[in-house]
Structures are given as structure tokens and as C-alpha cells.
Amino acid sequence: MYNVIIYLYLIGVAIYSRFNEKVRKMWRGERDAFRVLREQVDHQSRYVWFHAASLGEFEQGRPLMEQLRRDHPDVKILLTFFSPSGYEVRKNYEGADIICYLPLDTFRNARRFLQLIHPVMAFFIKYEFWYNYLHILKNRGVPTYSVSSIFRDGQVFFRWYGRQYGRVLRCFTRFYVQNEKSRELLANIGIENVTVTGDTRFDRVLQIKETAKQLPVVESFIGSGLKTDELKAKVFVAGSSWPPDEDIFIRYFREHPGWTLIIAPHVIGEEHLQQIEQKLEGWRVVRYTQAEKSPSATTASAPTALVIDCFGLLSSIYRYATVCYVGGGFGVSIHNTIEAAVWGRPVVFGPENQKFQEAQGLKACGGGFEIKDYDDFARLMDRFDSDPQYLSESGNKAGAYVQSLSGATRKILNDIEL
């Protein structure tokens, strides 16, 4: 049944690729992967294979790849992606020797792929359970690990109708899961080769913090030329925001002046940027790229709102926040909360956060705050504004939470033999 579904999916992708640029890139990239491997594989070398579905999973696997390279400089790394949103952003990543798409999981593709690469070890990040690849790896005796994986009651493996597909889990040499609940769920279906190590994303955000950029445009905008985390202004940074998020916090700051507002929207398109500017009508507003070209725009008479209209800066911008807001919680789901929390700032987000244990952890420790509507947000911001001690303690709790859950990378690599 699985292979029938895969072949139907393959046909669907081939058809849809004619009408969708993202799908077309994936379709072409998967077909091109065999050429890439034929041209680039060094058959005299040992390869460790890392597979990440997309950019988020790549960030989870990155600390493992980089530490493994430091520990074993003689080993080469193959990195594969399923989604264009991962491959297109990281196709020039210097931490891997070969980067390509993963051909779709047909038996023929999986056999050809593994004949070309002959990995000595394989890592699948978080949710990747490709039936044919995993069975061939097991049959060939290749140690295969699921890292930073997390399991929930509703997943197909734990339903009566998913028992046959659930056999794929028995192909892994070991699971390195994020929490005890995942270990218990796997134990309930007879899988005991499980270690609770936590999430490698915590290691990654600490790496990002250590290498964060200083941004003179932002420092000028908020009136801070300092080389420390001290700020001269109350700064609200909204990261990965969507229109429903912006409707709430922009309304508040229109009614409560005194804060500097920095918005890094999730979608950086002209239409969305203009929507934000319209909501801020009457304010002094500047886009980041305009400020880069004209530094005088960020002097004392600078706009009261800075809109980030480029990628790659958000993780560094959070350092300048007094309070961080992470968007997406009024849509499908929130974005990366620990990227903000690592700076020791309180983190605010919307109600769609239940699937993210880091959000639950931040709420439980007092460093993260869920808001359900404008009134919730207003009450919370009023307290932050009027109670500096509460603001400081909340931020410290957020930072301590991230620090307390670091170390998964070293735990995993200490447990494997290469």
C-alpha cells in the first residue's frame, strides 16, 4: 500500500510541477540528484548521510554535522533535503561535502541512491520515516539514527490502521528523542532502543547567539551604540509576524506610545510590507534596506517603527529587544520561540502553540506568555511596562530555560561509534 501511495504521489508531483515553481524545483532537483552523486561521490571516502526535510530540520541537524566533522575530520558528509525551502537556502552550506535533494522514496530510487553513496552511517532528523530507504539501510547493516524526534498519541504508528507502516520504526538502530513521552509511546509498541537526549535546536540557538551579528542600523534606530545587551529604549521586536499578529500589537502601540517597534514579517513581499505601513499610518516608518542605504534615516529623528524587509537578520535582531513576540500563533502554528528566548527576553505568542514543547516549557517556567486576543496582550504589556522587576525576571527565566536544555548534540555523538 505504501508503495502504491508513493507512486501516485510521484505522478501528482510530476503533473503539479507544470503549474507550481516550488514543486517544479523539487521535481527537477530529485531527478538531478543521481547526476550530482555520480559526479561528486569520492569512492575512496567514508560518507555519513544526514537527511533533513526542510530548513527547520536542517537547523536541528546542523550542530551534529559540525561537531561530527570536528570529531572525525576524515569523514565526509552528504546532506539531503526533501523541500526546496531547505535546499534552496542551504545548497551552498560549507559544512557538507555533497548537498542534493532526496529522490522520492520508491524502491528503485532508494536502491540506486544507496548504491551510489554507500553511507557508513545515516541520520534522519525529527519526522523523517522513509520506508524503502530505511529498510534497505537496515538490510545493509548501516547504523541509522532518528535524532531530535518527537512522538505524539495521534501519529499513525500508534493507530490500529498504521501497524504495518509502523514497522519502519524497527529499521532504526536507535532513537534519540526529545522527551519522556516519546520514549513511553515507543515502548508501548515494543520499541526499546530509545534514549531521551532532548532537542539539538537548543544547541543550535546557542551557537547562533555566540556568532550573532551586531547591526549598526538597528542600534542607531533604537538609540543604542552599546556593545552590550543594555538598551537605551524599550524595544518590542516582532519576529515572523503575520497580519493577525500585526493587528494586535500595532493597535496596542498606537494607543501606548513610548516603545520602539521593530517588525520582521514572515512574508517579505511588497504587498505585505505595504499592509504593515498602512496599519502604521501616521507613524515615522522606515524599511531596513532603506536605512542601510541612507544611515541618516536612523538618527534622533528616526521613524518610530523599523520594518525588516530582508532575510537572515531576525536571530540577531532579538538581542535588541526588551520584549519579543513570535508570530504565527493566530494561524497554523507559532514559529521559533527559543531563537528569541536564548537572549534572555520574555517571549509572547498566540494560542496555536500546543504542538511545540518548547512553547509549553517557556510558559511553564514563566519565560513565555500565550495571548488569545488583544485584551490579553494589552494586560501583559501593561504589566511589563509598569513592573521592571517582573520584566527582568521573565526574561531571565526564558534564557535559563534554553540553557538548561542544551547538550543534546554531545549526548548523541558520545553514544555512537564511527
Q: What's the pLDDT tens digit per position in 86-140?
A: 888 899 999 999 999 999 889 999 999 999 999 999 999 998 899 999 999 999 9
Mean pLDDT, all residues of the chain: 90
For cell 513570535, the residue is 326
Q: How far apart are CA 330 and CA 369, in angstroms?
A: 14
Write out pLDDT tens, residues 234-263: 999 999 999 999 999 999 999 888 899 999
Q: What's the pLDDT at 7?
A: 56
pLDDT band at 40 (very low <50, low <70, confident <90, very high): very high
Q: What's the pLDDT at 159?
A: 87
Tally the C-alpha atoms within 13 A of residue 300's C-alpha that lie toward its C-beta: 0
Share of residues in the chain with pLDDT > 70 (%): 89
For cell 519522556, the residue is 180
In this predicted structure, the answer to whether residue 54 has a pLDDT above a threshold of 50 is yes
| 56 and 197 Cβ atoms separated by less than 8 Å | no
Q: What's the pLDDT at 229?
A: 47
Q: Under DSSP, is residue 117 helix (H, G, I), strand (E, B) or coil?
A: helix
Write out pLDDT tens, residues 189-245: 999 999 999 999 999 999 999 999 889 999 888 875 434 444 457 999 999 999 999
Show the CA angle centred on residue 101, arms to residues 135 and 21, nearest 5°. Answer: 130
Write out pLDDT tens, residues 163-190: 888 889 999 999 999 999 999 999 999 9
> If you average pLDDT over residues 274-296, what whole number do you get?
84
For cell 543550535, the residue is 204
Q: What's the pLDDT at 15?
A: 64
Q: What's the pLDDT at 243?
A: 97
Residue 19: phi, psi to the nearest 5? -120, -10
pTM for this entry: 0.84
Q: What's the pLDDT at 232?
A: 55
Which carries the bigger pLDDT value, residue 298 or residue 383? Answer: 383
Least confident segment among 142-156, 289-303, 326-340, 404-418: 289-303
Residue 217 CA from chain centroid, whole number = 26
For cell 505601513, the residue is 277
| 61 and 50 Cβ atoms separated by less than 8 Å | yes
